[in-house]
Amino acid sequence: MPSDLIPGVDPPIQLSLELPVKKFAGNFSSRGMTMPKIDLAKVPVHTGSRYPAPYDVPCRDRHRLRLGDGGGLTQFGVNLLTLKPGVWSSQRHWHHLEDEFVYILSGEVVLITDAGEEVMKAGDCAGFPAGERNGHHLVNRSNADATLLEVGSRIRGEFGVYPDIDMLFDARGFTRKDRTPY
């Protein structure tokens, strides 16, 4: 019996989370086993912004490699985000249900929150706990590209607020604060 089939462990267990159905997106070796190292050339890419105009403008030159998706993960997202000079990571926002985390890999960005501004360089990181009503975003005010990892949990029913503009988001997309669509 393979050592990882364990009597008393293998029966299905009670799972209290409503997790999305997982579709594995990784690679398989010739032995039929997963090769977990992620091939960056095959990772889903997202460029630009789906915000309604004109809120998309400052975010048009952002580029995300969806690393976690590329590794077949579903419970949280991990993106490698590249911000060109002048570009914003997002409109300033906060999440009701989902924790968020950023780690700067290269370059320099400015973290803007209700508490003020903080410069962040390689090795700096920040956490944004779910439900904390402190809108945040990162702006690249430098003359060079900045790269960072962003991590966010994925929780059904998530929604959030953009404090600086007339916009909310939920699973259906973006609306005005009176819930009317754009």
Q: Does 174 bind a second copy (CB under 8 A)?
A: no
Options 47, 157, 173, 182; binder of a second copy; rule CB under 8 A:
157
Residues 91-130 that bind a second copy (CB under 8 A): 94, 96-99, 101, 103, 105, 111, 113-116, 118, 120, 123-130
Options 11, 21, 31, 53; binder of a second copy; rule CB under 8 A:
31
Minimum Å gap between C-beta 101 and a second copy is 5
By C-beta, is 58 or 77 nearer to a second copy? 77
Number of CB atoms found within 10 A of residue 34's CB: 13
Minimum Å gap between C-beta 176 and a second copy is 10
Cis peptide, bond prior to residue 2, ω within 30 of zero = no
By C-beta, is 59 or 73 nearer to a second copy? 73
Residues 11-30 that bind a second copy (CB under 8 A): 13-18, 22, 24, 26, 29
Phi-psi region of 8 (alpha: psi -120 to 50; beta: other; left: phi over 0): left
By C-beta, is 44 or 48 nearer to a second copy? 44
- Residue 81 CB partners (closer than 8 Å, separation 6+): 62, 63, 64, 89, 147, 148, 149, 150
CA distance 62 to 85: 10
Least Cα distance to 139 among 94, 167, 104 occurs for 104
